[in-house]
Structures are given as structure tokens and as C-alpha cells.
Amino acid sequence: MNYRIFPPEEMMMATVELPLSKSISNRMLIINALTPGATAQVRTADCDDTNLLAKALGEAAGAKGEISVNTGAAGTATRFITAYLCAKEGASATVDGSERMRQRPMGILIDSLRALGADIRCTEREGYLPLRIEGKRLAGGHLNIDASVSSQFISALMMIAPTMTDGLTLHLEGELLSKPYIDMTAELMRRSGAEVEFDAPFEEIVIAPKPYSKEGTLEAEPDWSAASYWYETAALTAGFVTLPGLQLPSLQGDSACARLFEMLGVRTEPSEDVDNALEVAPDPEQYSRFEVDLVDTPDLAQTLAVTSAMLSIPFHLRGLQSLRVKETDRLEALRKELDKFGIVVEIRNDSELVWNGAHHPVFERPAIDTYDDHRMAMAFAPTAVLIPGIVIRDAEVVSKSYPGFWDDLKSAGFRITDGDIPEAEAFAPEMSIDPSQQASENPLPL
């Protein structure tokens, strides 16, 4: 379905109940499934990715014979369930996913599991789905792993390590991507009784052969990645958003959103009206150029790039090498969709997005392609503030992480209608996107 988005007619003042973190939820589900005697019900995110993982774990738990697991386009769920099934004694399973998921590399995880004693083979193409797995107790031991591709591989291995005969020592090679996700995994494991050492200089992770012994975190935090779209909305509308339950400090690396959006004219403070809530509010101070390394928080890249462009703040985002192999090639997708606004973005070194203020005339009202990527849809929806009636194509893709996003946007005062842009409609946005309208002068960030 395609949606046309129109901005609030009055100043936005919204209270939004965010979805729970799928990153925390997915880890909780795996750890809980590996904890002997666990009985408490964990409260997790209600979204496609987490529901797929929960379904797969349920099938594996009750299976008496071979099972077939399909994780769709859910990258985290695919990596986590693959490792789990390899370590589950008696499991016999095939693992497959969507066409895009079949194109996403799994070789590092597959080779690592084999080195630890797993019985896993690729049934069509080496290093990719689909997979055939015969589960058993893994030996464990010492393993070198390339940390520059995906932190999900490392987290998947970490969570099954307490079940291994010899535990696991991971030596991390190359630049570690998304370190906060490794920190999150380690902390959630510790809360369930595992012994995990992961300290400076971050080259080794040591996990003892000590089974999980207690039920740890039973409810995930609200999701900071989801919060980022409300920071963007506050920045573009100059409105106010209250986010109950959102925490600082947080297990989630994407809580860096609060600090990063300060540079884009949005402040974060405890709510005076709602207990245990943060308020997101406009601030007149903005940087004149936005430069930041997002190697630890790549899921914020789309939101930050779109916000900066819509505020006419030139940007240079680094550390984005993992975006080439996400739900889509997010670097190329951002370049193409921002070009529809006249924003000329350059991709450098397969890991950087740069906009120096160059733009070209726009003669058509933008219709945003989402590339089966939830974050593309949510990052571009608030641009309706500048171009009322902008179209978001295949808007249902948000169900991957935030099924209630469109309802929340309506509750905040946005108007959403079905359908594409009539061919005869003239392009006449109420606000031009003019890079000459620069933000106030401030020192360059970071």
C-alpha cells in the first residue's frame, strides 16, 4: 500500500508509546530458550522480526523431528536461530529466508560454527541460505573472527557459548562494528548468570562453560531506533514529543540519538508532566555542518541523513560500511531518494555519505521507494512537513520493527491517506529545500 502524508495543521505536541526494542527482545528470546528451567514470560517487541524468531524457537522447542524455519527478511533472527539450532542437541532443521536474505552473507558465521564443531551445510550456495543443520552440543574453544562485517555474528556465537563444553574465547580481528550491540549481548547474558569478560582493548571476548542459571531481563526497553524518527519529527516540525519509558542511560547504542540530535536543534530532558518519560523539544541552536562517525550506530544513518538534508545542514556521515548489506543497500537507497528532493549526495569508500550543499531543480513531487526496508519508510515520512502530500510506497514495511508507526503519526496530528500522486498534480511544496538557508554558525561536531 502507498500512503500520502500531510503534516499537522497546528504545533505538534504528542505523547508516543514506543515499541519495545527488537534488539533486546531478540537476545532475550535466545537466552531464555537456553536457560534451563526458565518459566517466566518475557515481554518482547511485537513486530515481524521478533515474532518470526519467537515462532522459530517455539517450533524448535516442541519438535520431535525435522523442522523448517523461514525467517523472511529478518537478518538478526536468521543469524541468531542458526547458531541456536547448531547448539541444540537433537535439532534437525532447515533454515531459509526471503530472496534478499538469501543474498546477505552468512559465511563468517557458518565457518565459525563449523570450527566450533557444528554440523551445518549450505544446500545451494556456500556461505548463504538455505542451510541444513543437525544440532548437537558444541565443543567451543578459541576462535578468531572478523569483527568488521556484522556484530550479529558475534552476538549469535556469544549467546550459545555458555552451553559449549569448553566455553568460548573470541579473538576479534579488524575494526569492530556496532560495539554497543556486543555490550548489550554481554550484559543480558550476565543478567542470566553467564560469565562474560569483554573489556578494553576489546580484542577478546571470554565466556566460561557455565550454563545460564537464572531468568534475567524479563521486559525489553522502549526502542531507541524507533525514537529517532520522533527526534526527526520534532526537528522538522519544531514540535514537542513525550516518550514514556524511554531510558537514559540505556543498553541500546542508539540512545546516542539524544546526543547526536542536539547538533540538529533538538534537546532531550526528563518530562515534567509524565513520570519516567523523556521529552524531545526543539532548540534554536544547530550546527552549520553535521559530521559524525556512526560505526557504532549505523541504524541511525537514514534518520540523521534525511533530517540534516531537510534542515539544509550539509553532512558527512562515516562508518557506514555495514549499510551495503542490510535489508537493502542503504547507501544507494539514501542517495537515490534524497536525489528526488534535489539533494546531491555522494557515496565515498563504500562507507561514507557526503552532502556539501549541492542540489538540482525538482519538478516532481517525490514518491519515496522503500526497498523493503522499514527504516527508509520511517525516515522519510516526516519530510511531509516540507512537502505535504509526499508519498511513501509500500508503507506496510514498517511492520518489521514498528507496526504502529502510522497510527502514532496520525495521533501526532499528521494526516495520512491512501494512494499515489495523481499524474496531473502540480508540484508546489509549501517549503522549498534550499541549502542556502544554513543553520546558525557553531563549531564543527566531533
* pLDDT given for residue 40 in this prediction: 79
CA angle in degrees (0–180, nearest 5) for 184-190-195: 120
pLDDT at 200: 59
The whole-number pLDDT of residue 444 equals 29
**Active-site residue flag, 299:** yes
* Mean per-residue pLDDT of the chain: 91
Catalytic residue (one of 299, 369, 373, 408):
299
Q: What is the pTM of this model?
A: 0.90
Comparing C-alpha atoms, which of 134, 140, 133 is closest to residue 210? 140
> Which residues does 102 contact at the CB level (< 8 Å), separation at least 6?
96, 128, 129, 130
Residue 168: its pLDDT value, please? 97
- What are the DSSP calls for 277-328, one per residue? EEEEEE-S---SSEEEE-TT-GGGHHHHHHHHHHTT--EEEE--GGGGGSSS
What is the number of other CB atoms lying within 10 angstroms of the CB of residue 38?
A: 17
> Which candidate, 114, 183, 123, places its Cα nearest to that of 154?
183
Report pLDDT for 344: 97
Domains belonging to the chain, first-starting first, are 3-19+222-418 (3.65.10.10), 22-207 (3.65.10.10)
pLDDT for position 65: 77
d(CA 111, CA 117): 10
Cα–Cα distance measured from residue 427 to residue 53, given in angstroms and rounded to the nearest whole number: 43
pLDDT (0 to 100) of residue 175: 85
Q: Which three cell numbers stand for residue 417?
A: 491517506
What local confidence, expressed as pLDDT, does residue 32 receive? 95
Strand order in the sheet with 415-418: 367-368, 390-392, 3-6, 415-418
Q: Are 278 and 243 in contact (CB under 8 A)?
A: yes
Beta partners for 204? 171
Q: CA quadruple 5, 7, 8, 13: dihedral positive or negative?
A: positive
Residue 433's pLDDT is 53
User: Residue 424: what pLDDT?
Assistant: 44
Residue showing cell 541444513 = 132
Contact 402, 230 (CB under 8 A): no
Give 199-258 pLDDT, tens digit per residue. Answer: 756 689 999 999 999 989 889 999 999 999 999 999 999 999 999 999 999 999 999 999
Task: Read off φ and ψ for residue 304, nearest 5 degrees.
Answer: -70, -40
326-330: list long-range contacts, CB under 8 Å, 24+ apart. Answer: 326/75, 326/373, 327/73, 327/75, 327/100, 327/371, 327/372, 327/373, 327/374, 327/375, 327/400, 328/100, 328/371, 328/372, 328/373, 328/376, 330/301, 330/302, 330/373, 330/375, 330/376
Q: What 3-state DSSP class applies to 123? A: coil
pLDDT of amino acid 191? 96
Tens-digit pLDDT profile for residues 149-167: 889 999 999 999 999 999 9
In one letter, which amino acid is 271? S
Q: Which ranges of the chain have pLDDT less than 70? A: 63, 200-202, 325, 421-446
286, 307, 284, 298: which is closest to 350 by C-alpha?
298
> Are 265 and 235 a contacting pair, CB within 8 Å?
yes
How crowded is the C-beta side of 263, counted as CA atoms within 13 Å? 22
- Per-residue pLDDT, 61: 85
The predicted-structure confidence for 40-90, as pLDDT tens digits, reads as follows 788 999 999 999 999 999 988 876 778 999 999 888 999 999 999 999 999
Helix (H) or strand (E) holding 179: helix 179-191
**Cell numbers representing residue 401 in the block:** 520493527
> How many whole angstroms separate alpha carbon 266 and alpha carbon 237?
11
CA distance 116 to 92: 18
Which residue type sits at 206? V
